[in-house]
C-alpha cells in the first residue's frame, strides 16, 4: 500500500493501570480495533493507513486520534467516546471526518463540516512542515 494519509490512534488512551501495568483492553485499543474493521470496507481504505500509537500525551482527553498527511495540517482530536454503545458511532464519525480531511488540499476542515463527534474535540491543529 502506497498511501500517504494516516489515521493515528492512541492505543493507551482510557487504560486501567494496576501496579504499573495495563490491565485488560484500553479504550484506545477498542477504538483501534473498531476502526481497523471498518477501514477494510471503507471507500478510502487504499488512501489511508490506520496506525496504532502507544501514547499521544492526551491522557486527560481520552480517546485521541490524529489525521496526518504530507503537505497538510495535522489534526489531533480528543474526548472521543470508547464506550461499547458509542464505539461504532465514534469510529464511523472518525472515518467520515477522515474523508473530509482527504478532500481538502491543505487538510483544513471547517468546524461546521466536521461530524458532531469531532466538532468540539480538537486538541491541536499543527501546520505542515
3-state secondary structure string across 28-73: HHHHHHHHHHHHHCCCCCCCEEEEEECCCCCHHHCCCEEEECCCCC
C-alpha to C-alpha distance for 54 and 107, rounded to whole angstroms:
24
Domain count, the chain: 1
Average pLDDT of the residues of the chain: 91
Query: Please, which pLDDT band fits residue 3 given cuts at 50, 70 and 90?
Result: low
What is the pLDDT, as a whole number, of residue 1? Answer: 43
Assess contact for 63 and 81: CB atoms under 8 A. yes
CATH label of the domain that carries residue 103:
3.40.30.10
pLDDT of 28 over the 80 cut:
yes
Q: What percent of the chain has pLDDT over 70?
A: 98
Q: Mean of the pLDDT values across residues 111-124?
A: 93
Query: Which residue range(s) make up the domain with 78?
Result: 5-126
Amino acid at each position: 500500500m502506497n498511501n500517504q494519509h494516516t489515521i493515528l490512534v492512541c492505543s493507551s488512551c482510557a487504560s486501567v493501570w494496576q501496579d504499573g501495568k495495563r490491565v485488560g483492553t484500553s479504550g484506545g485499543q477498542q477504538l483501534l480495533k473498531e476502526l481497523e474493521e471498518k477501514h477494510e470496507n471503507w471507500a478510502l481504505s487504499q488512501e489511508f493507513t490506520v496506525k496504532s500509537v502507544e501514547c499521544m500525551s492526551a491522557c486527560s482527553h481520552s480517546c485521541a486520534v490524529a489525521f496526518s498527511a504530507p503537505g497538510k495540517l495535522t489534526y489531533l482530536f480528543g474526548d472521543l467516546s470508547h464506550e461499547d454503545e458509542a464505539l461504532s458511532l465514534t469510529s464511523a464519525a472518525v472515518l467520515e471526518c477522515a474523508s473530509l480531511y482527504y478532500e481538502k488540499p491543505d487538510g483544513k476542515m471547517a468546524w461546521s463540516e466536521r461530524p458532531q463527534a469531532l466538532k468540539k474535540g480538537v486538541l491541536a491543529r499543527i501546520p505542515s512542515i
